[in-house]
Structure 1
Amino acid sequence: MAIRLVVALLITAFATWIRVALAPAESGGRFITLSLAAALSALYGGFRVGMFSTVVGMLFINYLLVKPYFSFAIENPVEAFWLNTWHLITQLVVVGSISFMQQQNQRLRQATTDIQLGAKQLEDTFEHSSTGMAHSHIDGRWIRVNQTYCDLIGYTKAEIQALSFRDFTHPDDLRLDEDQLARTLKGDIASYNIEKRYIHKQGQAVWVHLTLSLVREPGGQPDYLIAVVQDITASKATEQALRTSEQLLRQANQLAGLASWHADVATRRFVTLSGSHEVLDLPSAEFSDDELLALTHPDDRAMVLKHWAMAVKGLADYDIEYRLIIRGDHRWFSVRAEFDRDAQGRAVRALGVTQDITERKRHEMQIQQLNASLEQRIEERTRALKAAYDELESYSYAVAHDLRSPLRIINGFAQALQEDNPEWAGESRSHLERIMGASKKMGELIDGLLTLSQFSRGDLQRKPVNLSTIATRLLEEFSSTDPQRQVRWEVEPGLNAMADPPLVEALLQNLLHNAWKYSAQTPQAVIRVYAQVEKGQTRFCVSDNGAGFDMARANKLFQPFQRLHMPHEFAGLGIGLATSLRIVQRHGGGMAATAEPGKGATFCFSLYAPLAA
């Protein structure tokens, strides 16, 4: 402001100097030049600056051009008063008019600027909107289209100008769009909203929400159309996915016999989802807690309330089974629920599933009844089997005792005849020796039968057993009783198992005795005892490189009194392997053999419960 006043002062001083220089003081028009200075000052600085120039100019004129000159003493005060007064009034009008015009011009410029800014903002809003926008003539020709609209359908602005909206509207949706447009043009409606599909330039369908409005001329005639288009493809895909999920949930509920539900903990309302209450034949889709409790079997209500309260507090999971009475029918349900909680940990909502388990419960009761019946039948069968075993044992001992007595008599009389008749020779003595040998053989067979019977009964006492120690001791005994044999034997250390020690020793006794016997005719005999793991189970093996046998006859291998070699080749009764199999089977294991004539045999067995070394 100070600068404007200084400028106004200089302009006024300059105008005063020109007035003094151009005409004498006595000439008229003292204030003409000063009026111009005030007008210029007002144009430059506004009303106050113009009035400042007016007052300063009046001082200059009265000092310089009014007699007496160079003083403010005035000869004719009346004349001076009227001259100054009219000059001041004139300048007020001039400066005020100038100021008023300046304000009007300023307002006009501001209005013009605001209009231009608004037009630009409107243009920017149209062009850069995230929603597709377009203006078109009534006949469908485009007036303008923004870039979002172009991007939505994949065409450039130049390409769209050669097309109509009918060209890229899906054929199935065109009829609806045109019907609504016709109603708008007739004046039935001012605008309409529809969901429709555009065909993208690349061929895929684009779902949009279209809002179309008609702008009319002042006379009411249709002028142009405004289209606002929003891409809703993603939301449509979400809706489709939701419908698919609901349909799959409904199908899953039907297949599994489930009802899905949610509950508002505050209002205590239970609502089933996707009509799943029909799956369980529930009376309605929504229940209050009192209504649901009224359906609950009286014996289960206290349990249900207790578990629900604990689950709401977060003290336990809600996973229970209880009964509902539906249309007079008692049915069992399994119910599970999880809770949504707020920031303070308070339960807000429960999401759960309910499954009808009535059939399962009925089957469980039937199984319990069947188990009770089976246990009773097993006990009866066990008693019967025990009685049969006891009877068989008594029979075996009785038979053995009754058979041994005649054998002893036969053998005794044969020995007496041999001693009383030393002169007998040839065929008679041969007959006596055959009688004595047959009676001895018969005794061994009776002992084998008793041994086989013994290993098939009695209680099994499992204890830690070191098979390596037993095998080593047995082989050392065989070596000491048959010192002329040169046999190389190998026993893998640390072969341990949980088994009955006496039975395992008898098992190894039979297998190692067979290996020792059937390798007797092999010059460099080798016997091995080792373990191998097959399908996670430990198997113990005894192998030799002796006579072996033909695997085609292996089906007779473990049958009592069945032998694969002639008696003159290898002595024996054929009871050892049958006894060994009985011992292995009593331990819950199995036994298998592999062999080849002249190349030895391998017998492997498992005892069901191997113990790591």
Structure 2
Amino acid sequence: MPDPLKPSTATVHPLQRVWQRVTAWQPEQHPLWARLLVAFALTLLAAWMRIALAPAESGGRFITLSLAAALSALYGGFLAGMFSTVVGMVVINFFLIKPYFSLVFENPAEAFWLNLWHLITQLVVVGSIALMQRQNRNLHRATELIQRGKQQLEDTFEQGATGMAHSYINGGWIRVNQTYCDIIGYTKAEVLQMHFRDFTHPDDLDLDLSQFHRALNDEISHYSFEKRYIHKRGHVVWAFLTISLVRKESGEADYVIAVVQDITALKHTEQALRTSERLLGQAHELAGLASWQADVASTRFVTLAGSHRVLGLPSAEFTGEQLLALTHPDDKERAAALWALALQGKATYQLEYRLLFGGEERWFSVRAEFERDASGRAVRALGVTRDITERKHNEMQIQQLNASLEQRIQSRTEALKAAYDELESYSYAVAHDLRSPLRIINGFAQALQEDHPILAGESLPHLQRIMAASKKMGELIDALLTLSQFSRGELQRKPVNLSAIATRLLDEFAGADPQRKVRRQIEPGLHVMADPTLVEALMQNLLHNAWKYTAQKEDAFIRVYAESVQGQRRFIVSDNGAGFDMARAAKLFQPFQRLHMPHEFSGIGIGLATSLRIVQRHGGELQARAAPGQGATFSFTLNTRLLT
């Protein structure tokens, strides 16, 4: 690829091209041994031609050798030319000076002056050639530097990242670069046909012209300002314009240099920054925050975006001493110690402390992060401060209310506990004391039936109703005692094997009712820490219900297992018995409430209520789901540590 800095040789005459090559020849580009070898060959060729063309007595012995020395100097430089001269002198003295073929001279004086004159002549010729070559090389380098500088200036103008233009004083264009055209969106041909007024924003035109007239009047040599252009597509382009006026030697204005830098993105960034600052100020005001920065070396704190006004601080800048002086005496040591630890990177600077403004105590919450240098030393702190005085006052009021509320709750709890204990004692005493009259009523009814057969025969139905009612009431009293028993006392948590309890209970039910065939499935290894007596009663009630309500199923099935629900262990007793309607499930765990008629299934409705109290005493919950004719499933948690 041709060098763009060199002039084109397409129209140069061949002889001129040869001369340019000769004058631009640089012997130093070739190794010395090659230059000396060429000089030696040229010298031998010239000596042979001299010997071959004329006899020794014809004179002019060094003519051809001078040509060889000159050519050697042109090709190889000064050293090669002088080397050719010396070699030529040796050859000529050997072949053409008597006695021939020896270096002995018949007339030494003549030979001396002849050789000396030839040596001086060749020294001048070879030196002149070498000097000419050096000057030509310097000239060639200077020409190349000028051409390269010119091309670089051209490239700087045409390919620069900023727009550049040269124009006449009247506004006509001399030249514009592509970047200038790209900024305003026109092609170079379109711009050259326009005036700068055509794409200057009307609001900026007067300022531009007034400054230009000042430069013409020699008041200023150049000027710069931010200017708006109208893009070809219609939108505004912001640019930073610099105008320089070039004058002739006479002082008359010659032409104008315009440099245009597109700052539209910068303007948008500035606008976004102003918007962000405004929004930040609003956010500070809405959130009651003040952001700040601090120089660690000088311990000078400066609030940002005027946020000190949000907190009502007296000024935007504080020294560390001033802040410490405003700090509440009880908080000074704690704040200073935390700041020192945070500077060392040993703690996070986050605390709540009090400042005193005009005797008024105000609470602040502050948090800061630190910028550190390469060695890890803190150089700057960035933080946020918030006024939490109102929150602190509310907290204090809440604490006072909580203390008062705790006292009230404690007194109410003690009163409720006393009432509950009294009620439990009363219900236990009532239930216990009712058993004796019932035994008397039942005993006298049986005595009447046995001692007076005739009376019994006439009043047998009445006696049977009396005995049945007393028996029913006895069962209810027993149920009340049982329910009261399971609601009192302290839990004794011990390892309990639910699988073993379920297996034993179902074996007992099967032994008492051998004619029934009930399939069972009990998951092994169901261990918990719970009260053994209460868990025994819980499993007794749930499994007894399952056994009872599957009595009418030929393929009765009872299953005991556990599963994990939302990370919690639940124990489950399910059957495929009569089930119940979930719409009536609200009555399921209420005492003496039943979902089946007495003639369908026996019972008094106390078992599930007792089970619920047992589960609740363990801090768990008891749930049920069922459908009529499709069985029931009871699941419970005991909120105790499982055993593995």
With normalisation by structure 1, the TM-score equals 0.78
Q: What's the % identity of the aligned pairs? A: 72
Q: Given the alignment, which residue of 383, 388, 398 partners 2:414?
A: 383
Report 1:412-423 matches (<5 A).
412-423=443-454
Question: Aligned pair 1:518/2:549, yes or no?
Answer: yes
Which segment is superposed worse, 573-582 or 188-197?
188-197
Whether the 8 Å CA contact 1:593–1:604 is kept in 2: the answer is yes
What is the aligned partner in structure 1 of residue 361 from structure 2?
330
Question: Aligned pair 1:215/2:266, yes or no?
Answer: no
Whether the 8 Å CA contact 1:496–1:610 is kept in 2: the answer is no
TM-align CA RMSD: 4.0
What is the aligned partner in structure 2 of residue 263 from structure 1?
294
What is the aligned partner in structure 1 of residue 392 from structure 2?
361
What is the aligned partner in structure 1 of residue 469 from structure 2?
438
In 2: Cα distance, 1:166 partner to 1:226 partner: 16
Whether the 8 Å CA contact 1:591–1:606 is kept in 2: the answer is yes
In 2: Cα distance, 1:381 partner to 1:227 partner: 90
What is the aligned partner in structure 2 of residue 579 from structure 1?
610
Q: What are the superposed Cα offsets for residues 221-249 of structure 1, whole Å, 9 maximum, x if unpaired?
A: 44321101123334334433433333333
Q: 1:156: how far off?
A: 3.5
In 1: Cα distance, 2:472 partner to 2:245 partner: 123
Whether the 8 Å CA contact 2:560–2:572 is kept in 1: the answer is yes
Which segment is superposed worse, 416-425 or 283-292?
416-425
Q: What are the superposed Cα offsets for residues 121-159 of structure 1, whole Å, 9 maximum, x if unpaired?
A: 543432343332110123322101123323434443223
Secondary structure at 2:384's aligned position in 1?
strand
Q: Specify every segment of 5 or more residues in structure 2 that has no aligned partner in the other structure, as ranges.
A: 1-26, 28-35, 37-42, 47-57, 59-73, 78-106, 110-132
Q: Given the alignment, which residue of 303, 322, 334 partners 1:272?
A: 303
Q: 1:439: how far off?
A: 1.1
Change (3 A) 1:202 1:357: same
Question: Aligned pair 1:224/2:258, yes or no?
Answer: no
What is the aligned partner in structure 1 of residue 572 from structure 2?
541
Secondary structure at 1:266's aligned position in 2?
coil
In 2: Cα distance, 1:360 partner to 1:424 partner: 86
Q: 1:573: how far off?
A: 0.8
Q: 1:493: how far off?
A: 2.6
In 2: Cα distance, 1:378 partner to 1:459 partner: 23
Q: Given the alignment, which residue of 277, 281, 294 partners 1:250?
A: 281
Report 1:9-28 matches (<5 A).
none
Q: What are the superposed Cα offsets for residues 287-344 of structure 1, whole Å, 9 maximum, x if unpaired?
A: 1111111111112112222222222233322222211012321111122222222233
Q: Given the alignment, which residue of 554, 557, 561 partners 1:530?
A: 561
Whether the 8 Å CA contact 2:495–2:643 is kept in 1: the answer is no
Q: What are the superposed Cα offsets for residues 509-559 of structure 1, whole Å, 9 maximum, x if unpaired?
A: 111111111211222211122334444434332222222233343332222
How many residues are aligned here? 541
Q: What are the superposed Cα offsets for residues 440-492 of structure 1, whole Å, 9 maximum, x if unpaired?
A: 11111111111122222333444554322222221111112222221111122
Report 1:47-58 matches (<5 A).
none
What is the aligned partner in structure 1 of residue 49 from structure 2?
none
Secondary structure at 1:279's aligned position in 2?
helix
Question: Aligned pair 1:314/2:361, yes or no?
Answer: no
Change (3 A) 1:345 1:521: closer
Q: Given the alignment, which residue of 577, 586, 589 partners 1:555?
A: 586
Whether the 8 Å CA contact 1:538–1:610 is kept in 2: the answer is no
Change (3 A) 1:109 1:455: closer
Secondary structure at 1:316's aligned position in 2?
coil
Q: Given the alignment, which residue of 478, 493, 505 partners 1:474?
A: 505
Q: 1:120: how far off?
A: 4.4
What is the aligned partner in structure 2 of residue 66 from structure 1?
none
Change (3 A) 1:395 1:110: closer
Secondary structure at 1:381's aligned position in 2?
helix
Q: 1:118: how far off?
A: 5.3
Q: What are the superposed Cα offsets for residues 141-196 of structure 1, whole Å, 9 maximum, x if unpaired?
A: 21011233234344432232123333333455444434433444455543221112
Secondary structure at 1:506's aligned position in 2?
helix
Change (3 A) 1:171 1:488: farther
In 2: Cα distance, 1:262 partner to 1:172 partner: 40
The residue type paired with residue 144 of structure 1 is R
Q: What are the superposed Cα offsets for residues 545-588 of structure 1, whole Å, 9 maximum, x if unpaired?
A: 22223334333222211222222222211111121222223333
The residue type paired with residue 582 of structure 2 is M
Change (3 A) 1:608 1:174: farther
Question: Aligned pair 1:492/2:523, yes or no?
Answer: yes
In 2: Cα distance, 1:345 partner to 1:511 partner: 68
Whether the 8 Å CA contact 1:547–1:597 is kept in 2: the answer is yes
Q: 1:410: how far off?
A: 1.0
Which segment is superposed worse, 531-540 or 343-352?
531-540
With normalisation by structure 2, the TM-score equals 0.74
Question: Aligned pair 1:568/2:599, yes or no?
Answer: yes
What is the aligned partner in structure 2 of residue 33 from structure 1?
none
